[in-house]
């Protein structure tokens, strides 16, 4: 008699389930649209040339420095250079919060790890509320990750099925009804799964309600550079929030989960960062210490390799320029695919209006 006899079968992950079905399907024309990974014209993963070059440099460097014990543990917060570069990439190098040393940054196991560490930190040390509001719909794992650390997950209206657009009024009214201090999960750009992002004007309205209600923004940035092809434009919303001042003049606080899975094609290397914008270096220091406690009990410290590659790409001007050109290429091709899909639907005589496919992912921040 097994002690594990009572273990119930968990439902399969809905996205992984599609991949299993896909692998089992014998059709030569099959396409897996379930998993959020970029594919080339040939349906293959794209290895970014800037990332490949950075990897070669990192590997050479690590073999040369064998004597320096290259495989020793990293610090709990990970690669400090990677953390600084990630924060600058998201917030912009001129962000006063970085200059003033009031942003805590740690390396995480990709975006999911950043959300998990951020969630654990909030559950233990954020006194204002234990509720986190996520959009309806959202990336399914938001519910699981925040629920598993003991936060109460609630939803706010986001997608309006009838108009296939943002339910802006519904969103604002749900946020206005949230308890003061509640955490609000916001997709920084390229909302998953709808592809619908607020316009800059709508973001201003969302920020106003967040401040009015005293909510805590938690940005999830899994696609910086993918929405518009421009890293700065895709960080427009989170930068608006990070640079905002509250009515009393104090800096807006917030959290940010960053993933380099998609924009560097480093999916399996698990490269990410969590940052917390505080109001002073003194608070930043205490927050930083608690982020490290959260990490220490989960996995002790993060892996070396992927973060070293990402840091090399961001630090080296030539590699960084090459990366950004490749990123623009991927974003442009995604846009072309949307156009081609709409054209093909029209050519096939599909009933209804499919304009939302091309209007989603609008490049509002480029124009703004």
Do 93 and 293 meet the contact criterion of CB atoms below 8 Å apart? no
Per-residue H/E/C for 56-107: HHHHHHHHHHHHHCCCCCCCCCCCHHHHHHHHHHHHCCCCHHHHCCCEEEEE
Please, which residue, 84 or 271, has the CB nearer to ligand PLP? 271
Do 319 and 53 meet the contact criterion of CB atoms below 8 Å apart? yes
Do 294 and 117 meet the contact criterion of CB atoms below 8 Å apart? yes
Asked if 112 is part of the footprint of ligand PLP (rule: CB under 6 A), the reply reads: yes
- Out of 91, 121, 133, 139, which residue is the one contacting ligand PLP (CB under 6 A)? 139
Please, which residue, 197 or 288, has the CB nearer to ligand PLP? 197
Q: In the numeric block, which tokens belong to residue 188?
A: 């920084």
Asked if 274 is part of the footprint of ligand PLP (rule: CB under 6 A), the reply reads: no
Asked if 195 is part of the footprint of ligand PLP (rule: CB under 6 A), the reply reads: no
- Ramachandran region, residue 291 (left: φ > 0; alpha: ψ -120 to 50; beta: rest): alpha
Please, which residue, 113 or 251, has the CB nearer to ligand PLP? 113
Asked if 86 is part of the footprint of ligand PLP (rule: CB under 6 A), the reply reads: no
Asked if 107 is part of the footprint of ligand PLP (rule: CB under 6 A), the reply reads: no
- Out of 172, 184, 222, 319, which residue is the one contacting ligand PLP (CB under 6 A)? 222
- Out of 74, 86, 110, 263, which residue is the one contacting ligand PLP (CB under 6 A)? 110
3-state secondary structure of 268: helix
| In the complex, minimum distance from the CB of residue 305 to ligand PLP, in angstroms, rounded to a whole number | 16
Q: How many residues bind ligand PLP (CB under 6 A)?
A: 13
Please, which residue, 62 or 157, has the CB nearer to ligand PLP? 157
- Out of 86, 129, 194, 259, which residue is the one contacting ligand PLP (CB under 6 A)? 259
Do 172 and 156 meet the contact criterion of CB atoms below 8 Å apart? no
Please, which residue, 134 or 276, has the CB nearer to ligand PLP? 134
- Of 328-357, binders to ligand PLP (CB under 6 A) are none
Please, which residue, 275 or 284, has the CB nearer to ligand PLP? 275
Asked if 159 is part of the footprint of ligand PLP (rule: CB under 6 A), the reply reads: no
* Cα 145 from Cα 138, distance rounded (Å): 12
| In the complex, minimum distance from the CB of residue 270 to ligand PLP, in angstroms, rounded to a whole number | 7
3-state secondary structure of 249: coil
- Out of 261, 291, 314, 364, which residue is the one contacting ligand PLP (CB under 6 A)? 261
Please, which residue, 284 or 338, has the CB nearer to ligand PLP? 338
| In the complex, minimum distance from the CB of residue 107 to ligand PLP, in angstroms, rounded to a whole number | 12
Residue whose tokens read 């930083």: 288
* Cα 273 from Cα 115, distance rounded (Å): 9
Asked if 111 is part of the footprint of ligand PLP (rule: CB under 6 A), the reply reads: yes
Span of 79-87, 106-114, 225-233, 310-318 interacting with ligand PLP by CB under 6 A: 106-114
Q: In the numeric block, which tokens belong to residue 234?
A: 């895709």
Asked if 220 is part of the footprint of ligand PLP (rule: CB under 6 A), the reply reads: yes
Q: In the numeric block, which tokens belong to residue 266?
A: 């480093």
Catalytic residues: 139, 220, 262
| In the complex, minimum distance from the CB of residue 137 to ligand PLP, in angstroms, rounded to a whole number | 11
Please, which residue, 91 or 223, has the CB nearer to ligand PLP? 223
Residues 6+ apart with CB under 8 A from 248: none
Beta strands per DSSP E along the chain = 103-109, 131-136, 152-157, 159-160, 165-166, 183-187, 216-221, 254-259, 271-277
- Out of 192, 243, 301, 359, which residue is the one contacting ligand PLP (CB under 6 A)? 192
Angle formed by the axes of helices 49-64 and 317-347, nearest 10°: 150
* Cα 357 from Cα 251, distance rounded (Å): 37
Asked if 187 is part of the footprint of ligand PLP (rule: CB under 6 A), the reply reads: yes
How, if at all, do strands 103-109 and 271-277 pair?
antiparallel
Angle formed by the axes of helices 49-64 and 305-315, nearest 10°: 120
| In the complex, minimum distance from the CB of residue 138 to ligand PLP, in angstroms, rounded to a whole number | 7
Residues that bind ligand PLP (CB under 6 A): 36, 110-112, 139, 187, 192, 220, 222, 259, 261, 267, 272
């Amino acid at each position: 008699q097994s002690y594990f006899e009572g273990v119930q079968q968990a439902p399969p992950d809905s996205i992984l389930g599609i991949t299993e079905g896909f692998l089992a399907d014998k059709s030569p024309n099959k396409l897996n649209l379930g998993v959020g990974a970029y594919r080339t014209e040939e349906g293959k993963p794209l290895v970014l040339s800037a990332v490949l070059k950075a990897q070669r440099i990192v590997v050479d460097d690590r073999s040369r420095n064998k004597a320096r014990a290259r495989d020793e543990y990293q610090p709990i917060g990970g690669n400090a250079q990677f953390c600084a570069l990630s924060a600058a990439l998201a917030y912009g190098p001129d962000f006063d919060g970085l200059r003033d040393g009031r942003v805590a940054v740690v390396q995480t196991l990709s975006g999911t790890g950043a959300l998990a560490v951020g969630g654990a930190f909030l559950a233990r040390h954020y006194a204002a509320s234990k509720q986190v509001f996520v959009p309806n719909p959202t990336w399914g794992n938001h519910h699981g990750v925040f629920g598993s650390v003991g936060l109460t997950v609630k939803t706010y209206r986001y997608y309006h099925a009838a108009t296939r657009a943002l339910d802006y009024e519904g969103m604002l009214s749900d946020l206005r009804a949230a308890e003061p201090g509640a955490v609000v999960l916001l997709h920084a750009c390229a909302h998953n799964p709808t592809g619908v992002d607020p316009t800059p004007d709508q973001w201003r309205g969302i920020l106003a309600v967040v401040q009015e209600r005293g909510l805590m923004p938690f940005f999830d940035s899994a696609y910086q550079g993918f929405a518009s092809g421009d890293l700065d434009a895709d960080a427009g919303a989170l930068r608006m929030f990070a640079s905002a001042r509250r009515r009393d003049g104090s800096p807006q606080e917030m959290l940010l989960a960053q993933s380099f899975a998609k924009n560097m094609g480093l999916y399996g290397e698990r490269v990410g960062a969590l940052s917390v914008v505080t109001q002073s270096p003194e608070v930043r220091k205490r927050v930083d210490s608690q982020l490290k406690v959260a990490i220490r009990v989960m996995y002790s410290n993060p892996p070396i390799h992927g973060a070293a590659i990402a840091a090399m790409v961001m630090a080296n001007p030539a590699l960084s320029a090459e990366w950004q050109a490749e990123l623009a290429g991927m974003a442009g091709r995604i846009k072309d695919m949307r156009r081609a899909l709409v054209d093909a639907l029209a050519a096939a005589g599909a009933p209804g209006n499919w304009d939302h496919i091309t209007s989603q992912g609008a490049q509002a921040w480029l124009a703004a």
